[in-house]
Amino acid sequence: MKLNIDGLLVYFPYDYIYPEQYSYMLELKRTLDAKGHGVLEMPSGTGKTISLLSLIVAYQRAFPLEVTKLIYCSRTVPEIEKVVEELRKLMEFYAKETEEVNNFLALALSSRKNLCIHPEVSSLRFGKEVDGKCHSLTASYVRAQRHGNPNQPVCRFYEEFDAVGRQVPLPAGVYNLDDLKDLGRRKGWCPYYLARYSILHANIVVYSYHYLLDPKIADLVSKELAKKSVVVFDEAHNIDNVCIDSMSVNITRRTLDRCQNNVDTLQNTIQRIKETDAAKLREEYRRLVEGLKEANVARETDVYLANPVLPDEILKEAVPGSIRTAEHFVGFLRRFLEYLKSRLRVQHVVQESAPQFLKDIFDKVCIDRKPLRFCAERLQSLLRTLEITDISDFSAVTLISNFATLVSTYSQGFTIIIEPFEDRTPTIANPVLHFSCMDPSIAIKPVFQRFQSVIITSGTLSPVDIYPRILDFRPVTMASFTMTLARTCLCPLIVGRGNDQVALSSKFETREDFAVIRNYGNLLLEMSAVVPDGIVAFFTSYVYMENIVASWYEQGILENIQRNKLIFIETQDAAETSMALEKYQEACENGRGAILLSVARGKVSEGIDFVHHFGRAVIMFGVPYVYTQSRILKARLEYLRDQFQIRENDFLTFDAMRHAAQCVGRAIRGKTDYGLMIFADKRYARADKRGKLPRWIQEHINDGSLNLTVDEAVQLSKHFLRQMAQPFSQVDQLGLSLLTLEQLESPEMLKKIAQIAHQT
């Protein structure tokens, strides 16, 4: 259908529309008009992606000079592929309606592991191996060597792409990962480099967060993307953690040992080159004198180790003299390494700030701040000069030099914690140096600065106002949308008591309490008898789950559950869990029914949807607080308090509730779907917890279901499921939660829609 969104003609590739989609597009349009940033929360399964795409594509077509590019960031590979497929649908609709040739180019970009078509390289299992092998075949000096030595192996796909691939831009169309690979095979071009090259002139790019947020990668891939782009972060409820992760470094003794080996190798290589080809080193020296900018003019394939900090701050200067020659630099690295080793030989926990660390290193081994800042860049140059092909071996020394650069660049927002042993095993020495980022805004700041509109959206972003605070930006729109429903297809229940009136809670004091564990087991058992097909249960952590499972086993609860459904359990091994998941789905599919025991914050809770019968009920055992004893977390909480005036408890609760909401939201993926959401902890009843759930869940919790016993919950569930089992057709929704174009344009509906968006 064709919509009129605030004067903009939007093609929407469906015959009907949800009211909230219309409302969402209105808000989005406002954000784009204002050239500002936005935070939008809309329930999962209400067609967020297609609304986003429809509006932004329409905007791009209407104002090609205002918005030149859409950069759509999602979290997982399947998500990325889903987005591209939705886009394809939209483009097909455009082609059909306008009957003109579309000159839109849209493509997905992923890591080499997902795009490589080289028969040997692509058969490697891990992304790192693929990257390393690819580099060893495509680095510029490897290819240069081939001129002298035709036997030198290179990647024929890259060669072909390099020879002809750049001359003609990729024809317009929608390219998913598989389409790129197909094209690559047909033409004999490397799909990865083709995609990386094509994102510069593509209208829509879909890739993962890291390409924008991780400065090590962002610098390579996304540096030249136009400023007039709209950036969308979908599933952005965890965006702060992604930011923090990309800037944090951990150094163990093993890292240092491997780094030592790396430095030795470097030394030997330098020695050898000095004897055979001293000119090369002299040349490098000359380049470094001229400044890094020159040194950085290298081929795209070489820029493998990028700088962990943002380039502009550094590249204007020349490399300091003390590390300019290769030998001096290696000596410098050695000193730094020895210093780190000495720091790891501690008996007690040390926590210090970056300036303290710099002062200490200056006092002890006379290393200045400036050469440290250039460490990453200098290492990169050296590795290139030495023509080291297998760079993945040098990950340890790269890590150290990145750390050096980071610690000397940022004086704020980071903390250094050295722990001599793990808390759980105080007798085993296992020193770790955590250099952890506490301020997510550091990594995302350049994104906000550079692009004119950044949209942060997800199904669960409540409370919406906290994100601008922790990411330090000023949005022009913040809105939370509800799900309009013709029937109440979600049923949140808070189970606070067992049948014996024991208060249910996962809080620390009652964690080992037998009565609580038994009641939890009882809840699952009763539910397994009532709920059809699949049930997903989430625990607060692996350890907690393992303990509960063990005691359920001893009490015979699991055996009784097995009478009703099969049991699958998430483990820390991803491959094993994948198998369990597939079997779980199979069991739901064939009618036997199954239970999946899983962990909040685990991979399942973050990436897997349980649509329809794969998840008719989600049970959240306990409140998934993060492990609060961690020093890193404590440091971060302190930082949040001091810098952003966010109270520790507020943040912890916010964090726990967003994960809980993620978990329970996994079961509802649309308006035709239905599911129970059982919060099994009495603490959920409190207003401060409940109030942090997304609005679309919150508004269905009625006061009567705040502190249920297991039996009461079972009764309510039975009632709910019986209602849901009635036939539900499109006609039932029409006019309420599903609109035709005429209905949408009626004035009273427009008035209603205005209420859907909940401005904050």
Which parts of 227-286 interact with another protein (CB under 8 A)? 241, 244-246, 248-252, 255
**Using the rule CB under 8 A, is 5 a contact of another protein?**
no
**Interacting positions 10-49 with another protein (CB under 8 A):** 14-18, 47, 49
Given a contact cutoff of 8 angstroms between Cβ atoms, the answer to whether 590 and 642 are in contact is no
**Interacting positions 513-532 with another protein (CB under 8 A):** none
**Using the rule CB under 8 A, is 712 a contact of another protein?**
no
**Shortest spacing between CB 621 and another protein, in angstroms:** 16
**Interacting positions 634-673 with another protein (CB under 8 A):** 670-672
Among 573, 638, 688, 699, binds another protein (CB under 8 A): 573
Choose among 685, 729, 723: nearest CA to 704: 685
Nearer to another protein, 601 or 683 (CB): 601
Nearer to another protein, 144 or 574 (CB): 574
* x-or-dash string of contact with another protein, 189-228, rule CB under 8 A: ------------------xx-xx--x--x-----------
* 4, 12, 27, 267 from 22: Cα distances, Å: 10, 10, 9, 63
**Using the rule CB under 8 A, is 592 a contact of another protein?**
yes
Which of left, alpha, beta for 176 (phi over 0: left; psi -120 to 50: alpha)?
A: beta
**Shortest spacing between CB 161 and another protein, in angstroms:** 19
- Joined together, the tokens standing for residue 609 give 């949807």
Given a contact cutoff of 8 angstroms between Cβ atoms, the answer to whether 379 and 324 are in contact is no
Q: What backbone torsions phi and psi does residue 530 show, to the nearest 5 degrees? A: -100, -40
**Interacting positions 81-100 with another protein (CB under 8 A):** 81-82, 85-86, 89
**Shortest spacing between CB 740 and another protein, in angstroms:** 10
Q: How many CB atoms lie within 10 A of CB 219?
A: 18
Q: Mention every residue, 6+ apart, whose C-beta is less than 8 A from residue 83.
A: 49, 53, 72, 74, 108, 206, 234
Question: CA angle, 227 as apex, 225 and 230 as ends, to 5°?
Answer: 90
Nearer to another protein, 198 or 208 (CB): 208
Helix (H) or strand (E) holding 105: strand 105-108
**Interacting positions 379-398 with another protein (CB under 8 A):** 395-396
Burial group, residue 572, by CB count within 10 angstroms (0-12, 13-18, 19+)? exposed
**Using the rule CB under 8 A, is 292 a contact of another protein?**
no
Nearer to another protein, 204 or 251 (CB): 251
**Using the rule CB under 8 A, is 122 a contact of another protein?**
yes
**Interacting positions 399-458 with another protein (CB under 8 A):** 399, 422, 425, 428, 434, 436-437
- Annotate 415-454 with b (16+ C-beta within 10 A) or e (fewer): bbbbbbbeeeeeeeeebbbbbbbbbbbbbbbbbbebbbbb
Residues near another protein (CB under 8 A), total: 111
**Using the rule CB under 8 A, is 603 a contact of another protein?**
yes
- According to the 3-state scheme, what is the secondary structure of 602-641? CHHHHHCCCCHHHCCEEEEECCCCCCCCCHHHHHHHHHHH
Among 106, 604, 618, 714, binds another protein (CB under 8 A): 604
Among 202, 626, 693, 701, binds another protein (CB under 8 A): 626
Q: Mention every residue, 6+ apart, whose C-beta is less than 8 A from residue 672.
A: 489, 612, 728
Given a contact cutoff of 8 angstroms between Cβ atoms, the answer to whether 535 and 528 are in contact is yes
**Shortest spacing between CB 578 and another protein, in angstroms:** 5
**Interacting positions 550-569 with another protein (CB under 8 A):** 550, 553, 556, 558-560, 562-569
Span near another protein by CB under 8 A; candidates 78-86, 223-231, 310-318, 707-715: 78-86
**Using the rule CB under 8 A, is 505 a contact of another protein?**
no
Given a contact cutoff of 8 angstroms between Cβ atoms, the answer to whether 727 and 432 are in contact is no
